[in-house]
Structure 1
Amino acid sequence: MTGLSPWRESGIGGPEDTEQLKARITTLEQQVIDLELKLQERDDDLAAARAANRELMAQLNRHAD
């Protein structure tokens, strides 16, 4: 016997590894949520900029006629 737990000997890790992985998953899930929110904000900003651009172009075209 090498003194390693059966988990380690099998190569699948141990319960402590499972807890670390669960914590890492939670962290990554929160990062995904945060990035999705940032992306939505940027999409909203882009949509507002496009709408403003369309309005300005329409005003310019009205004055050009």
Structure 2
Amino acid sequence: MANALDCGTRRAARVRHLETKLSELLGEQAWRESGLGDPDDVEQLKSRITTLEPQVIDLTGQLEERDEELQAARAANRQAISRLNTARPTEG
């Protein structure tokens, strides 16, 4: 009798485990089919990232150069305005 009870307990635990696993797999499948899950072409996306990374680095460098040029132009503009303001005769 005790042996049969243990067997039933083990089977019930196994059924719970299999139900949980089935639920997880069905959830993952529904997630993928909904379009919200990971795309199947992950390797293609990784390849695209690898291709785009050098371009991002290059564009970042260009942006930094443009920022430096803009800062220099602003400094030159401030100096020019300052000279114009000090060169004006004062009214009085």
Q: Which among 78, 81, 84 is matched to residue 47 of structure 1?
A: 78
Which digits, 9 at most, give the CA deviation of each residue in 1:4-61, with x for residues without a partner? xxxxx7387344322221001101110110010000000000000011011111xx22
Identity of aligned residues (%): 11
* Count of matched residue positions in the alignment of Structure 1 and Structure 2: 53
1:5 alignment partner in structure 2: none
Moved over 4 A (4+): none
State the alpha-carbon separation in 2 of the partners of residues 27 and 20 from structure 1: 12
TM-score (norm. length: structure 2): 0.48
In structure 2, runs of 5+ residues without a counterpart are: 1-39
Larger radius of gyration: 2
Greater RCO, CA 8 A, separation 6+ = 1
TM-score (norm. length: structure 1): 0.66
CA RMSD, Structure 1 to Structure 2 (Å): 2.1
